[in-house]
Amino acid sequence: MTLAGYRCCVAAICFLAAGGAHSMERPSPKCLQMGSEAFENLVTSQLHMSSDGSVFAGQMADDTQGVFAGVPEKARGLVEQMIRDGKGWAAFGTKTNAENRLEVQVLYLLEDGDSCVTIQRKPERISPIYLPEAVSRSLLLFFRQPTDGDEVELRSRLQAFLTKTNENRPTSTAPRVVKGGKPRRIDSQEYVRKWEELFPVPMLETLARLQDTCNARNDGSEVDLSDRFVTGADLDGDRYEDWVANGYGLLCRGPDGGRRQLAGDENGATVWIMLSNDGRLGSVAEFRLAPGDTIRRYVGYVVINSKLGIYSLKGGAAGEPLKSVPAGGRVVFTLDRMKP
């Protein structure tokens, strides 16, 4: 059934579990939104304070370079207390700089009640040599690189990958604003309201974040869901229809009608799994799949068989990686290659 078909039937029938290798603790949605707006992908690591009062992310104080060197003295005490209370985060990600080169950066986030603040107005450029092991592993996983090895090897591999990636990248190709034109951004929260009766709240939050990515073009570009975005099937054998949202069907459409992929490339795509409870879509789990990867149905749970590993999904929570595909079950979804 196409997305258009789903819109017609909603009235009648009617984390985010991507976790990754870093801590199961997660920043607030507001902090995650701020981090997502800064980076093309995002990995978080909680901030800690060492016995000498220095702030660091990861397991050891030498995992990252110095943090908050420019924090005014009068604010230092408040910042330290928030970190001790578990309200401080380092958001690591990749970002294309003004020279169109890919680099790893970090943005520090602090939870303050229902809001989120950043210490630095711009993400600080860092070297992968300072990244916590779990962060290096998660970033390599995003780039579909091998993730076996100790932390030194992982950091070296990430550095080598970024160096190789940037060898042939053109420079000075950042998006240009038409002379005389006014930048135009769309309110992402308002824009996704048209899908409120279609998707659960976590999926709407993801779509809003992706609209913010479109907004970076400053030309009124909009998230566009194609007919291949949603596939419906009983994934967990409870006789209720579940949904798989396919990143290959998620596009950013410009004012000239041109469209570009938002969550997929020739190496694979992000896939969101929405399992139903008594016929109502609820939890959302996010995975990165390669062409040919599959989702298998079992009674009461789902198995994702991917190049990055085999995972069992029950409800909205993904379990630890499995060593092999369980016996039985049947394939209910296969990620097809990106179509031109």
pLDDT value at position 177?
A: 41
Q: How far apart are CA 331 and CA 235, in angstroms?
A: 9
If one counts the domains in the chain, the total is 2
Full-model pTM: 0.51
Report the run of H or E that residue 74 belongs to, with start and end.
helix 73-84
CB neighbour list of residue 33: distance below 8 Å, 6 or more residues apart: 116, 205, 208, 209, 212
Find the domain containing 77 and state its range: 29-166
Same domain, 64 and 151: yes
CB neighbour list of residue 256: distance below 8 Å, 6 or more residues apart: none
pLDDT value at position 105?
A: 86
pLDDT value at position 175?
A: 43
Same domain, 62 and 162: yes
Domain assignment of residue 279, yes or no: yes
What residue type is 114 in one-letter code?
A: D
Domain assignment of residue 65, yes or no: yes
Domain assignment of residue 183, yes or no: no
Same domain, 156 and 229: no
Residue written as token pair 């059934």:
1
- Enumerate residue ranges in the chain where pLDDT < 50: 1-24, 172-181, 340
Domain assignment of residue 123, yes or no: yes
